[in-house]
Every structure is written in C-alpha cells, then in structure tokens.
C-alpha cells in the first residue's frame, strides 16, 4: 500500500492488520501525493501497490484517467448512503471508495 498519510497514523493500521493476519507483513511506503502517483505510474504491472490510500479525491481521478485503477465495486457497503448531498461518496464507476465525510469552516475575529 502506498499512502500520503503520515507514518504515525499508518503504523496503527499496519500493527492491527499484522495482528489479525499473522505472517503477513505489509509494506506501507509513506509518500506525498505526487510521489505516490509517480510510484504507481512508474512501477511495472505486478509490482504496483495493491492499495493507494489518500484523502485527495483528485488523486483517484488522475489514476482513473491513466487507467491505473481496478474496479472495487464488490467492496462497496450497500447499506451506506451513496451521496453526501449531490456529491457521490464512492466513484460511480466503482474505481475508488470514499474514506470519510468531513466538513470545515472558517472564522475570524473582526475586533
């Protein structure tokens, strides 16, 4: 798996995975988003990461347009909502899955 998330976060997932799957030691190189895309593009078939974990939806659009994603429709939780307002949670073609819904806000002191 290649990810743009920091090792401090991914290590917890790696540890939990290894505990649940003794004998399997996943490799999780932490790369920034552009390095991650380059990694997927440059590695030959058979050596590419099986998972790309990032929070930027545009990464998956880039990988989709380059035909570097496999269909994962069978992993979609059918009980989960399909949209957050008008925005699809998962890719309508089944090439990537949503990770989380989040909001943000801005405020400033006018005094």
pLDDT band at 56 (very low <50, low <70, confident <90, very high): confident
**Among the residues of 1-102, which ranges form H helices?**
7-20, 33-42, 57-65
Report pLDDT for 106: 75
Q: pLDDT, tens digit, for every residue of 66-107? A: 999 999 999 888 888 888 888 888 888 999 888 776 666 778
C-alpha angle 105-106-108 in degrees, rounded to nearest 5: 150
**CA trace torsion 57, 62, 63, 65 (10° rounding):** 120
Report pLDDT for 65: 93
Report pLDDT for 103: 67
**Among the residues of the chain, which ranges form H helices?**
7-20, 33-42, 57-65
* pTM for this entry: 0.74
């Amino acid at each position: 798996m290649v990810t743009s998330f920091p090792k401090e976060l991914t290590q917890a997932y790696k540890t939990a995975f290894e505990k649940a799957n003794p004998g399997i030691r996943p490799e999780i190189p932490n790369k920034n988003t552009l390095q991650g895309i380059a990694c997927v593009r440059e590695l030959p078939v058979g050596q590419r990461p099986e998972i790309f974990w990032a929070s930027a939806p545009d990464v998956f659009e880039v990988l989709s347009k380059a035909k570097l994603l496999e269909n994962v429709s069978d992993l979609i939780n059918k009980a989960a909502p399909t949209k957050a307002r008008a925005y699809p949670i998962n890719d309508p073609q089944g090439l990537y899955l949503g990770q989380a819904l989040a909001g943000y806000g801005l405020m400033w002191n006018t005094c």
